[in-house]
Structure 1
Amino acid sequence: MRYKIEVLDSYTQKPGVLISLVVTLFSALLLVSSLVSREFHFYNSESIAVPSLIFEFVYGTVLSFLILRNKETYIHLTSFLILNWFIGCFCLNTLIPIFQDLPIWVYVATFTFCISNFFIYRNSDESANTPYYFFLNGLSFTIILYFALYLIPAMPYSFIGIIALGLGFYGLVPALVIIIHTLTVLRYLTRNRIYFISFGAGFSIIIVSLMVFTIGLNIESNKIAKTAMVKSFSNDDDLPNYIAVSQNLKPNFFNEILLKKNIVYTGPDNFFSFDNFNSFSNQQFNERKTHNPFISIAYLFCKDLGLSNDDKINILKSNFDKRLETEEQLWSGENLFTKSIKEDVKIYSDSRLAYTEITMNIAAAENSRRDQEAIYSFQLPEGSVATSLSLWVNGIERKGILTTKEKAKKAYNQIVGVEYRDPSLMQWKEGNKVVVRVFPINNKTPRTFKCGFTTPLKVEDNLMNYQSLSIKGPNISNAETISRIQIVGNTKIETSKDFELKNGFYINQSKGLDDWHANMPLNKIRSNSFAWKNKVYEVKDIEKTVIPFIPSEIILDLNTNWTIKQIESFVNLDKKNMYVFINGQKTAINKENFKAVQLDFEDFHYSLLPLYKLAKNSLIITKSGTFSANFEDLENSNYLKKIKTETKERNIKVINISANINPFWQTVKEQKYVDYFQTSLKNSLKMIEQHQFILFKSAKNTVNIEPAQISIQENIKDSILKSNGTNHIYRMYAFGKVLEEHVEIQGDTLANNQYVELAKDANIVTPVSSLIVLETDEDYKKNGIEKNVNTLGNASINNDGSVPEPHEWLLIIIGSITLYFYYRKNKKQTI
């Protein structure tokens, strides 16, 4: 250690070393400050780099002159010169973003190269560590080569820039460094074989890694391009062209990178364009735009996918669950993080329902001054509904008001986009999703919002299962989380993560948001009802009915989830009317050809069957995966128009032999385009053989909650039924009704208003309604949003029981007045 200190002391005594250290540290500090400022969107982040550029330009010019004039005296400062040149390059990039945003590993690699030069260029005795320095130097030298090659087309402009401002010199730095470094290092490499091997090993590791990565990316790009080309000859004009690629694309690391070309990652065809990411698509994609040299080089050897950026974004949405990234965002939310989460769950085992209340504290990075917008996506269990929203404004909780989705969105866009004030918006999305937006957030104004969701307890194998919510949003992983479970009744519970029983509640503290579930024994349905406005809503066991059904044709909805044995079990039924759809054409499947047919579906991950082409009384057997395109993605297609207008009349039955359901089938099921039943392979074969189909009994005054195996029935209130259940019973009934009728009300304004009023009454977020919180009551008036009067209002973890009827309120008031006067009379007598 003492020897190293002596070497360092000796080195600092050399001419120009101390002043070089001061300039380097000062410039590096300014560069880091500039990069951090840009990362967190501070004001005037670019101006921080200007002093560094001035220092670097003066220092570099003077030092270059000194080295050229007196090489023997100042040659040891060459490493400082190269390091400061690159600091200047990066500072200039913050002002003129030739490279756009670079990943942090690029900066690390560049400075590794520069620091290793100090040990390689020194004119001292050899060290045992010198081979390691050559290895690191060879490893990092590749990034300098990339800079030089990338800037070749920009060199003429660099020469002009030197004449004009002097700054153009930085465009020549990588090329100059390669020349200087090559001449210097060659002297050592030819002298010592170990150095040559070390440098070559470092350089080769990067080249080999790049080749392996490029080959993997190229294989996947060929697959996608081939699929796009083959499917382009299809005569099916009903579906968008990208759907064929989406259906045949298995989500993986390489595919995601390929689809993000020119959307997130800079492609080689857009090099040297300062507006690389502008006007690429009509859709927003809220992910940081990056210039990653490794990926950009690999793109050079990959085929063009033949897809527009809009098509690629649609595939990212359906195949990679990137729907949150495509949400319209009026303000950036890059520097936000979730500080804490409170997860409060109340389970009503007698009703087979649960209410989950999530409270989020959102903060911005320290010293982040700009207002930012937070967007959260809540993936809900099947059949769930959003029932409350609150935002804290100036320390006071303001509860959401339910209105039409159009009014809510218009008000939010006006206040966020024009007035820059406090709103929060909760919207329904297809596929059991709810999106919540909050604005504004900065380092001085962290925000708190609360939202609630009513969910059915899923019945499986004589157990009721509660599944926690999946949440995506600003940096949730490090949030301080506290979870609480309370149970109405004496039901025993088992959870997949550790909860400790404290004061009658189950409590868990953790980091981030875990995916967990709770199991309870299946309760028999007892008298459980909720009264509201002269009606009573009673929970009952769902009723199944077996109907005779001889399908006109059986369609096997094949995809990659099917096994050859499952296909064989159906063709062994020896039905003459069994078909599959191959490239949009109906094809018979039987014992002789099913193995060959299965090969056509090996890479087919989901289907979009042309339901409108099927014969009346058809039966579809599907095995659903977890992802697919949904109705929103297909909104302008002929396919969706025909689904909506020509499907319901065909009386199609669907049996799903999978426990999963993808977004497409979820919407088809919810909007009653088909009769849908989920069961096992064994039961489905039995139903076909016995010419039967199982329906859940329905009526105009009944809503079936299939996951919980219950129905909720509406009746006129009488003196027999008592309101002894939670108000979530009515909320679930209203949600079921809105979803059930939503397909019927499109384009019908009067009917649409009818279901908006139902949603308002139950305070539920649906395809036709949203919850919004505005800063003041005046804001609601300006935007034509009326406060909800005589409705259930926002759900609450602490207030979920019966709401008194008007005549009951009168009795309560009379009783209260009587008690008051009785108390006063007794008090006077006592005195």
Structure 2
Amino acid sequence: MPSFWHALLVASVPIINGLTWWSLTRPATWRLSLQSWANGFAFAISLYYTFLFIPLLLPGLFAIVFFGWGLLPWAPALALASTLVLRRRLKLATGCANKRLPGFWRGATFACVLLIAASAPVWLTRSAMQMALSDEESTQRRALRLLRTIGDEDLILRECYGRTPTAANMDMFTLILGMGNRITPEKARELYYRVTGRPFNSVPAPPVRTGRGAWGELANWSWDRDQGGDRVGARVTGLYLESSRIDAVIQPEAATAYTEWTMVFRNDSPRQAEARAQIILPAGSVVSRLTLWINDEEREAAFGTRSQVRTAYERVAIRQRRDPVLVTTCGPDRILVQCFPVPPDGKTMKVRIGITSPMVLLDETNALLTWPHFAERNFTIRDVFRHSVWVESQGEITSKNGALAAEQPKPGVFALRGELTDSALSAHNIRITRDAGVREVWARDTFSSPTTVVCQKLVEVPTTPPQRVVLVIDASTGMEHVYPSVANCVRKMPEGIEIEVFIAGDTVTAVRPANIKTEADFRAKLAECISNIRAVGGQDNLPALEQAWDAAAEKTNSVVLWIHGPQPILLSSIEPLRQRYQRRAPGPVLLALQTESGPNRILEQLSDISSVKSVALFTSLPETLDRLLRSWQPNSRILVAQRTKVAEFPASATTNATSHIVRLWACDEVGRLISQRKTKEAAELAMLYQLVTRVTGAVVLETADQYKAHGLQPVDPATVPSIPEPSTYVLLGLGLAVLLANKRLRRAIAL
């Protein structure tokens, strides 16, 4: 039924007819006017639904026998016939055979009024959605205001998945009679975001009811329009994340971490499904391992160019329907994971992603690590689901809010373990204590030929305060809690820095207070305006970014600070902003600070522009903004890791690091080559060091012939990074002890 109120109206028909028949057997209970009124009410309701079901009457005869639909398509017509028979009997019983029943048409009119009222939200929503298709901007704005006020969000969500004739709560009137132009799923997804401020795939897919019998299994089926594509797309009914395990090992002296995220997907639907997710990595991270379990056997990935691995995935997964998994980048510190097919009927698919990360250096003795987490996904994570987390370090580590239990499995080794909800994973971080005296670490580069050495030095680099900071503030729903922190940031902005503010709402608003005498009053007025921003729906931030770029470009060394929520839809063309950066390189620096997890289509399209940077939300928004403001203070310095390659270990080398600083050096070098437009050299370097970058990806295929057919070679399992088991640490320690003892013994013999 289209709604709860429609269900009540439909249920009233058999109740009224039953009471009418019962009263006809007991003349003493007759109340002619009331019975006539009720009969007219039932007549109008049954006539309305009979009219709607006319196209299904003939198919319904066959469906009764073959598909188990029962008498549902004929129910309104049979109810109408029963109502007319009872109307005739009422006339005969009261001697009004040739007269009108008193109250009959009043009851029918009242039923029509209720039907209109019950259908009004659907009709108004449909009309407003049609208005939103207009080319006139003013008409589009009126449509958005109407949808935000009285629109049916569930109806818009259903349109995001396309029309399904048997979907529950569907507008049958529009479906069967075909009123109005069809709203495409892409347009519906845009409208859902503009109305609610949320990505359509951030909520479960709408339920579907398909009857019984041979078609009953379709109740757990939904059409996946995005299968094999390069976007996450719609939620797939019946596809779940069954388990998630995150293991991490930290080397405090090198300020690096290696994380392995093992995921198991379960498919309860009767058809194969593709699991897709966009994952946000810790700042500066790179994927350095990809593993797929095939027949309970681990298979390592092959690294190739983006087009090479995607072509292999599409041909093997979508056409041959075998067992590949694909990882590519989709913006700064973001990757897209795809695996197909997740087998049906409760079977599972298991993958593992290895991530090499630099830690955020808070100061010489403290560093911070965030967890990889989902930005968007096409599978469901149940409310009771937990991610199992374990991390180990040779330095002391603490968990935010004590969410993880601390352990010390052996002297000099510290660990945290526990379980986190999906929402907690994105907000959680850990702090690590390191030796401030260690400023240099070294690692042998075994990927290069001949082998070389990578040196990482921690150095303090002076920062240059920007002349002008242009704030772009997203006015989408969900940003309300952000505005007080942003207003406080404006108040505390270092002196000498010009400030401009643009608000990205239904229209772009440039905040320029008038009649302000002092700089302090100006900033206070700006802060007040920011605090009073009214967040509504989902807003297009691109026009505001373009105006902010123009304002920032008036001054050298200017910064555009974009504070925003998820950007799941490109609501206007990205090309004007790209043109600005490409024609005036490097252009003003764009710092994108996203306040909550979610997709960002704008950053995806700007990932190849070096002036566009993502600011990680390390702890909380106020702390992140304070850290940024400190870097803009005069004579401020920040601690950064600089990696260089040398031929051999110098005599002064005292601290050895893992090969992860080699991978991070290679990642930096790939970025440098891309900025010089040396794409081919960048891809070759990334493939040599087995990294997923802007120009390369990783794919696991099922057979050697499939790799050969696409010019790929899976990596040697001995060359991939891994997380040693605790027993491995013991063996390494014993081996080191044996070597030291042997060395001392040889010295003693020599003496």
The alignment's TM-score, normalised by the length of structure 2, stands at 0.63
Shift of 1:349: 3.4
TM-superposed CA distance for 1:452, in Å, is: 2.1
The aligned residue for residue 52 of structure 1 is none
CA distance in 2, matches of 1:413, 1:106: 46
Q: Which deviates the most, 735-744 or 764-773? A: 735-744
* Correspondence for 1:529 among 425, 432, 442: 442
What amino acid does structure 1 have at the position aligned with 2:575? N
State the distance in 1 between where 2:372 and 2:293 align: 22
Which residue of the other structure, out of 267, 291, 309, is the alignment partner of 1:390?
291
Q: Which residue of 2 aligns with 1:350?
A: 253
Q: Is the CA contact (8 Å cut-off) linking 1:499 and 1:507 kept in structure 2?
A: yes
1:640-686: per-residue Cα shift (whole Å, max 9, x none)? Answer: 55145213244x24567886796646875873225888997789889
| TM-score w.r.t. length of structure 1 | 0.58
Query: For 1:318-357, what aligned pairs fall within 5 Å after superposition?
Result: 320-321=198-199, 327-329=226-228, 334-357=237-260
Is this contact kept in 1: 2:265–2:350, CA < 8 A? yes
Q: Tell me how far 1:363 sits from its aligned partner.
A: 3.3
- Are the aligned partners of 2:467 and 2:555 in contact in 1 as well (CA < 8 Å)? no
Is contact 1:415–1:422 with CA below 8 Å preserved after alignment? Answer: yes
Residue 310 of structure 2: SS of its match in structure 1?
helix
Matched residue type, 2:443:
F
Percent identical among aligned pairs is 16
Gap change, CA 1:776 and 1:578, over 3 Å in 2: closer
Of the three residues 444, 454, 460, the one matched with 1:543 is 460
Q: Partner of 1:31 in structure 2?
A: none
Q: Where does residue 671 of structure 1 map in the other structure?
A: 609
Amino acid at match of 1:779: Q
TM-aligned CA deviation for residue 402 of structure 1: 1.0
Q: Is the 8 A contact 2:240 2:380 kept in 1?
A: yes
Q: Distance in 2 between matches of 1:741 and 1:484?
A: 36
**1:549–1:693 CA contact under 8 A, matched in 2:** no
Match of 1:760 among 680, 687, 693: 687
Per the alignment, residue 514 of structure 2 pairs with 591
Counting only pairs closer than 5 Å after superposition, residues 301-312 of structure 1 correspond to structure 2 as: 310-312=186-188
Using CA pairs below 8 Å that are at least 6 residues apart, which structure has the higher relative contact order? 2
Choose the corresponding residue for 1:772, options 699, 703, 718: 699
Q: What is the deviation of 1:348? A: 3.2
> Within 5 Å, which residues of 2 pair with 1:498-537?
499-500=404-405, 504=409, 506-508=416-418, 515=425, 517-525=428-436, 526=438, 527-532=440-445, 533=448, 534-537=451-454
Counterpart of 1:528, as a letter, is V
C-alpha distance in structure 2 between counterparts of 1:677 and 1:250, whole Å? 34
Per the alignment, residue 723 of structure 2 pairs with: 797
Cα separation, 2, equivalents of 1:454 and 1:340: 22
Mapped contact 1:352–1:456 kept (Cα < 8 A): yes
Correspondence for 2:653: 721
Contact 1:103 1:290 survives alignment (8 Å): no
CA contact (8 A) 1:109 1:140 kept: no
- 8 Å contact 2:591–2:612 — kept in the other structure? no
1:134-145 map, 5 Å: none
Counterpart AA for 1:626 = G
After superposition, give the CA deviation of every residue in 1:360-403 in whole Å (9 maximum; x if it has no partner). 2333338x3x4433334323333332222111222211111111
Displacement, 1:408? 0.9
Distance 1:480 1:311, change over 3 A: closer
Distance in 2 (alpha carbons) for counterparts of 1:657 and 1:339: 31
CA contact (8 A) 2:162 2:184 kept: no
- Separation in structure 1 between the aligned mates of residue 60 and residue 608 of structure 2, nearest angstrom: 65
SS at the partner of 1:388?
strand
Name the aligned partner's letter for residue 624 of structure 1.
I
- 2:325 aligned residue: 424
> For residue 639 of structure 1, what is the aligned residue in structure 2?
576
| Corresponding residue for residue 33 of structure 2 | none
Q: Distance in 2 between matches of 1:570 and 1:500?
A: 37
| Cα contact 1:653–1:676 (8 A) shared by 2 | no
Which one-letter code corresponds to 1:726 in the other structure? T
Give unmatched runs, 5+ long, in structure 1: 1-101, 127-137, 192-199, 233-241, 267-275, 278-288, 697-708, 746-750, 803-811, 820-831
2:141 matched to 1:293? no
Deviations 1:504-557, CA, capped at 9 Å, x for gaps: 354436887853624325535524332214443344446332337645xx6443
User: 2:359 touches 2:369 (CA, 8 Å); kept in 1?
Assistant: yes
Q: Distance in 2 between matches of 1:506 and 1:578?
A: 44
Q: Taking structure 1 as reference, are residues 528 and 411 closer, same or farther at Cα in structure 2, changes over 3 Å only?
A: same
Distance 1:297 1:348, change over 3 A: farther
Q: Name the aligned partner's letter for residue 718 of structure 1.
A: F
- CA gap of 1:570–1:114, structure 2 versus 1, over 3 A, is same
Letter in 2 for 1:418: R
**Which residue among 136, 147, 170 is the counterpart of 1:229?**
136
- The count of corresponding residues between Structure 1 and Structure 2 is 624
Amino acid at match of 2:721: A
Contact 1:612 1:647 in 2 (8 A): no
Calculate the aligned-residue CA RMSD, in Å.
6.2
| Equivalent-residue separation in structure 2 for 1:343 and 1:684 (angstroms) | 30
Distance in 1 separating the partners of 2:403 and 2:315: 45
The Cα shift of 1:711 comes to 1.7
Is the 8 Å Cα contact of residues 500 and 507 (structure 1) preserved in structure 2? Answer: yes
Equivalent in 130, 143, 161 of residue 264 of structure 1? 161
Residue in 2 that maps onto 1:9: none
